[in-house]
C-alpha cells in the first residue's frame, strides 16, 4: 500500500515510517516539501537504504496515498484536515491523535465538542472516507527503535470491518504489537483518554517508553 504520513517529519511519523517501509511505499508529508524530503532521506538512512520512502507536501501525500495517517498534534488537526479536503478521494484515514493538555504537573484529556479527535475528523471528512482511530498508546521512541519488540496492545476503533482488518494487519507488522478491536468510532474518546493516563503513570512511576497491555487472568 501507499501510506502517507501527514506531519510525518515528527516523532510518531518517523516511527511508523521505519516500521512500515519494509512492506509499503511510505510518503512522508509536511507543510514544506523540502522538510519532508530531508525527513525521508533520514528515514532511509535509519533503514540502511532498504525501502521506498519519499517526501512531499501534505496535500500531494494525501493525493498519492491509499492510507493516510494523521501524525500531527491535536492543535493542528482541524487545519491539516480542512485544508486538504480536495486531495481526498477514497483513502483510509488513521488517527493516533490525542487531544490533551499538560499544566506542568499532569496531563489531562481535553476532548473537542464532538467527544474525541476521531469523531471531530469524522465530522470534517466526506462520509465515504473510512476512519480508524488507533495507536494512541504506542510510544514514538519505541516505534523508532525499529528492531525493538513492542509488548503493548494497539486499541482500534472504527465503524468499518474492512478498515479494521487493514489497520490490524499494519499493527501486526510492528514486532509483537497486538491489535485489539476497541469498538466503534463513537467510543474513540475512551481509547484517546488512555494516553494522558499512561503519561501520568509513566512520569509518577518513572517508567520509560510506557505502553498498555490487556491481560487475561485465566
Ligand atoms: N509522540 C508519541 O509518542 C505519540 C504517541 C501516540 C500518539 N501520538 C499522537 O500523534 C500525533 C503526532 O505526535 P508527534 O509527537 O509525532 O508530534 P510532533 O513530532 O510534535 O509533530 C508532528 C508534526 O506536526 C507538524 N506540525 C507542527 N506544527 C504544525 C502546524 N501548525 N500545522 C500543521 N502541521 C504542524 C510538523 O510537521 P511539518 O513541520 O513537517 O509540517 C511536525 O513534524 C499527535 O496527535 C499525538 O497525540 C503521539
Rounded distance between C-alpha atoms, residue 45 and residue 213, angstroms: 31
The bridge status of strand 130-133 relative to strand 153-158 is antiparallel
155: cell is: 486499541
**How far away, in angstroms, is 72 Cα from ligand 1 center?**
3
Which mutation among 4, 6, 11, 15 tests ligand 1's pocket best, with the greatest number of atoms within 8 A of CB?
11
Rounded distance between C-alpha atoms, residue 9 and residue 61, angstroms: 13
Give me the residue spans of the domains in the chain. 2-204
Angle (nearest 5°) at CA 102 between 12 and 154:
35
**How far away, in angstroms, is 6 Cα from ligand 1 center?**
9
**In the prediction, which pLDDT does 36 show?**
98
Q: Name the residue among 141, 134, 2 with its Cα closest to residue 64.
A: 2
**In the prediction, which pLDDT does 217 show?**
97
CATH architecture of 2-204: 3-Layer(aba) Sandwich (3.40)
**In the prediction, which pLDDT does 197 show?**
98
**How far away, in angstroms, is 216 Cα from ligand 1 center?**
34
Any atom of ligand 1 within 6 Å of the Cβ of 61: no
For the chain (218 residues), the mean pLDDT of every run of 10, in chain order, is: 98 98 98 98 97 97 98 98 96 98 97 98 96 98 96 98 98 97 98 98 98 97
Q: Name the residue among 65, 91, 73 with its Cα closest to residue 5.
A: 65
Residue nearest to atom 33 of ligand 1 (CA): 76
Any atom of ligand 1 within 6 Å of the Cβ of 71: yes
Any atom of ligand 1 within 6 Å of the Cβ of 10: yes
Which mutation among 14, 33, 72, 132 tests ligand 1's pocket best, with the greatest number of atoms within 8 A of CB?
72
Rounded distance between C-alpha atoms, residue 134 and residue 181, angstroms: 10
Rounded distance between C-alpha atoms, residue 69 and residue 47, angstroms: 20
Any atom of ligand 1 within 6 Å of the Cβ of 76: yes
Taking a C-beta distance cutoff of 8 angstroms, is the pair 192, 133 a contact?
Answer: yes
**In the prediction, which pLDDT does 23 show?**
97
Side by side, the strands of the sheet bearing 25-30 are: 52-57, 25-30, 2-6, 67-70, 92-95, 130-133, 153-158, 178-183
Q: Which residues contact 109 (CB under 8 A, 6 or more apart)?
A: 98, 99, 100, 189, 192, 193, 195, 196
Q: Which residues contact 94 (CB under 8 A, 6 or more apart)?
A: 67, 68, 69, 70, 131, 132, 133, 134, 135, 167, 170
Classify 55 as helix, strand or coil: strand
**How far away, in angstroms, is 71 Cα from ligand 1 center?**
5
143: cell is: 516505534
Amino acid at each position: 500500500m501507499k501510506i502517507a504520513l501527514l506531519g510525518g517529519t515528527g516523532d510518531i511519523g518517523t516511527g511508523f515510517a521505519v516500521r512500515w517501509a519494509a512492506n509499503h511505499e511510505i510518503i512522508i508529508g509536511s507543510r514544506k516539501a523540502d522538510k519532508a524530503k530531508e525527513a525521508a532521506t533520514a528515514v532511509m538512512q535509519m533503514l540502511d537504504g532498504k525501502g521506498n520512502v519519499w517526501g512531499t507536501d501534505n496535500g500531494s501525500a494525501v493525493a498519492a496515498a491509499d492510507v493516510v495517517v494523521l501524525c500531527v498534534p491535536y492543535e493542528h488537526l482541524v487545519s491539516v484536515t480542512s485544508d486538504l479536503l480536495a486531495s481526498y478521494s477514497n483513502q483510509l484515514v488513521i488517527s493516533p491523535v490525542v487531544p490533551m493538555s499538560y499544566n506542568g504537573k499532569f496531563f489531562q484529556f481535553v476532548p473537542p465538542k464532538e467527544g474525541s479527535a476521531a469523531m471531530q475528523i469524522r465530522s470534517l471528512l466526506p462520509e465515504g472516507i473510512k476512519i480508524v482511530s488507533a495507536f494512541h498508546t504506542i510510544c514514538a521512541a519505541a516505534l523508532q527503535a525499529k528492531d525493538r519488540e513492542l509488548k503493548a496492545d494497539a486499541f482500534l476503533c472504527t465503524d468499518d470491518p474492512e478498515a479494521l482488518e487493514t489497520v490490524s494487519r499494519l499493527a501486526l507488522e510492528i514486532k509483537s504489537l497486538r491489535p485489539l478491536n476497541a469498538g466503534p468510532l463513537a467510543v474513540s474518546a475512551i481509547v484517546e483518554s488512555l494516553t494522558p493516563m499512561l503519561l501520568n503513570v509513566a512520569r509518577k512511576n518513572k517508567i520509560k517508553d510506557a505502553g498498555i497491555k490487556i491481560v487475561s487472568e485465566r
